[in-house]
Amino acid sequence: MPGKTPTPIDQKADVMRISEMNWMQVAEHAKHDDRAVLPVGSTEQHAYLSLCVDAVLAERVSLDAVKGRNIPVFPTINYGLTPSFVDYPGTVTLKLSTLCAVVTDVLDGMVRSGFRRITVVNGHGGNSPAHGVVLEWLDRNRGVQVKWHNWWSAPKTMAHVQRIDPVASHASWMENFPWTRLDGIAMPQVQKPMLELQRFQQLDPGAKKALLGDGNYGGFYQRPDEEMLAIWQTAVEETRDVICDGWA
């Protein structure tokens, strides 16, 4: 299956982006609804897919989830914690301390703006340690609520992936959506054996690259679009429920 041009998000399709608001609009909105969304991704190798898969998907699932809900989405944090892939050109990693500082600094600004129910939509598993510092941050920000949502591994979304093909992981078919492919880049038509993760994690970045090769952890590189769009619909609905409902 050939690569496809990434589908642009319709910026005017009932989606509230902070980038399309001024400060007065934000102040007025927060008086009536204190929910907001912060997508967090990374810039790292994803085999034949875009280096920005995690950021693209975190932003898109956030925007699709809030369509028609009048819940603002803040600009995506495009860099994350990915030290294992630094030998792959184009990969950029933050130090854990930097990532934690960036996330909490942004949360500080969101709270100053009047938001008290914030969903962090995380698109990169390597960012998960930052959730711990968010919990510490909440101790200093009593009355604020923050949900940390790993959209791809949320129960309904991951169950949908597993029903289709349990051999799925980083840079495999499960991240290959029309909007993460690159024009003119063909995908290998094989199922790559799954990586032995325990062995992989103990190696330095150079040895990891030598072991991993193209970057796919294991599984087919692409599956039919109808399957991927069905997964996406599940992910959007599950993310919408997290953002909109279930607040204490």
47: its two tokens: 């085999």
pLDDT above 80 (res 119): yes
Banded pLDDT at 13 (limits 50, 70, 90): low
Using only C-alpha atoms, the chain has a radius of gyration, in whole angstroms, of: 18
195-242 pLDDT, tens digit per residue, is 999 999 999 999 999 999 999 999 999 999 999 999 999 999 999 999
pLDDT above 70 (res 1): no
State the architecture of 18-244 in CATH terms. Answer: 3-Layer(aba) Sandwich (3.40)
The C-alpha atoms of residue 72 and residue 243 are separated, in whole angstroms, by: 11
54-80 pLDDT, tens digit per residue, is 999 999 999 999 999 999 999 999 999
Q: Which residues pair with 119 in a beta bridge?
A: 37, 147
The C-alpha atoms of residue 86 and residue 141 are separated, in whole angstroms, by: 35
The answer to whether the CB of 215 falls within 8 A of the CB of 45 is: yes
Write down the pLDDT at residue 9.
40
pLDDT above 70 (res 3): no
Query: In what helix (H) or strand (E) does residue 219 lie, and over which residues does it extend?
Result: strand 219-220
Tell me which residue of 4, 63, 49 sits closest to 232, measured CA to CA.
63
Burial class (CB in 10 A: 0-12, 13-18, 19+), 227: middle
113: its two tokens: 């703006």
- At residue 73's C-alpha, the angle toward residues 71 and 76, to 5°, is 165
131-164 pLDDT, tens digit per residue, is 999 999 999 999 999 999 999 999 999 999 999 9
As a whole number of Å, the end-to-end CA separation of the chain is 46
3-state SS class at 52: coil
Model pTM score? 0.94
Helix, strand, coil percent content, the chain, rounded in steps of 5: 45, 10, 45
Q: Quick one: what percent of the chain has pLDDT higher than 90? A: 95
Task: Indicate the DSSP class of residue 140.
Answer: T
pLDDT above 60 (res 6): no
